[in-house]
Amino acid sequence: MNLPSMNDGLMSASACCPALLIAAPASGQGKTTVTAALARLHTRQGHRVRVFKCGPDFLDPYWHTLASGAPVHQMDLWMTGEADCRARLAAAAMQADLILVEGVMGLFDGDPSAADLAQRFSLPVLAVIDASAMAGTFGALAFGLQHYRPDLPWAGVLANRVASERHAGMLQENMRQPEHWLGALMRNPAMNLPERHLGLTVASEVTDALARLDAAADAIATTPLGMMSLTDLKRWDVTFTTELDSGQQPDFKPLAGRTIAVARDVAFCFIYAANLDCLRALGAELVFFSPLADSALPACDAVWLPGGYPELHAARLAANLQMRDSLRAHAARNKPVWAECGGMMALFDELVTVDGQSHAQWGLLPGIVTMQKRLAALGPQQLLLDGHLLRGHTFHYSTCVTPLASSIRTARPGTEPAPEMGEALYQLGPIRASYFHAWFASSPAATASLFSPGSACPHALAEQTDD
């Protein structure tokens, strides 16, 4: 670590650490499995591994946290911002023996893309290619990924889902630059990570999750990549530098003295760790509860219902009338509720699952939510809230029909909100709800307003306990 002298209240901090960005030509190639396998392999060897996920993703980080034993944060040059990415990489380099960043979609997909992140921070790219249905084309694809964009930092290529040693040999023979061959992973159901409609199943719900990671780690240990020591990995050393403010930090604590109750269980699990950090930094005390298992809210001043899988637990949510009544009483006292995506879905009158079954929900918002077989919305979004711009994204398979008018709407980056475009934000009394997933640190002021009283619309909620 290097800490030069201070200039104008700023101090430059830098550290060097081996780092890889694990990418692929498309989604579904095995990036998450390879990233988690590398993390698990080196963690088992006693190395300190820090993993990051490129883009707005809640699910892959659960697996990487289990594999590495350390918190996993998201990185996105637009949503989280370059300064946040830079600071997190530098902090990780000061503590870790290896940094892994899992890309998003294909290497060059999206704006910004994983390739943009790799170039901005000089992260060598490890390309994972599903080679199950190819031979000679593997070499062409590897060469194209490396050279499509000039000056892209490059580590090498790993073949995934390979049929046999003979198949692996054919793939290796077709490499234009043989030194970039980092090995092959054979087809192995024991290391598959289970999926469902929103992506990977949350690791905590998979009873043999660690066994699957160990199988993947064992497999990658037999490849040239897995056989590398920490000294070998230093060929991919990257120096990360960030600016630290050495002066007095502003005492912006608008949530000081306030307690926020955060829903957290298998139905409500789409929570950025950085969002919790942001709330604490704003002065809030956090308490957690389970809408599935608990009968009442903990003592609190505000509630956050994050996204998740209410559609998989709709019957249990419907049956928890005590929690419904506790939430209704909270709102009737004009205490704020912020509900994101799945959290919002549970607040409506009714939820219809993809097989057509209807379940009564908590009825704090009028309307019906219906699950779809296809994605209803996907992509980065921004929300102008109380004069402050909050960044985030949307990703959902359901639609809702409600008599509520949207108070405001989100917009895609660089555009203005427009009627029937973006995601609606609904407000009823102290409840604010939207399909929009917010990245709180993008606007601490807007975040504070979500959990502060005084912004309620005139329609009040009556306290009810009827069935």
> In the structure encoding, which two tokens stand for residue 101, read together?
């960043």
Q: Tokens 């019957």, residue? A: 315
Task: Give the separation between CA 150 and CA 262, rounded to whole angstroms.
Answer: 45
Task: Give the separation between CA 10 and CA 351, rounded to whole angstroms.
Answer: 52
The helix or strand, by DSSP H or E, that contains position 276, with its residue range, turns out to be helix 273-281
Q: In what order do the strands lie in the sheet containing 437-438?
A: 377-385, 388-396, 437-438
SS3 126: strand
Residues 6 or more apart in contact with residue 400 via CB below 8 angstroms: 344, 345, 348, 367, 368, 369, 370
Residues 6 or more apart in contact with residue 81 via CB below 8 angstroms: 442
Task: Give the separation between CA 431 and CA 439, rounded to whole angstroms.
Answer: 19
The 10 Å Cβ neighbour count of residue 461 is: 21
Burial 181-193 (b: 16+ CB within 10 A, else e): bbbbbbeeeebeb
Distances (CA, A) of 243 to 2, 12, 232, 250: 12, 5, 30, 16
Task: Give the separation between CA 361 and CA 371, rounded to whole angstroms.
Answer: 14
The residues facing 52 across adjacent strands are 73, 101
Task: Give the separation between CA 444 and CA 385, rounded to whole angstroms.
Answer: 11
Burial of residue 416 (CB within 10 Å: 0-12, 13-18, 19+) is: exposed
17 is catalytic: no
Distances (CA, A) of 351 to 31, 39, 266, 310, 348: 34, 39, 17, 9, 7
The 10 Å Cβ neighbour count of residue 252 is: 13
The amino acid at 192: N
Catalytic position from the list 54, 269, 341, 400: 341
Q: Are 44 and 213 in contact (CB under 8 A)?
A: no
Q: What positions carry a catalytic annotation?
A: 341
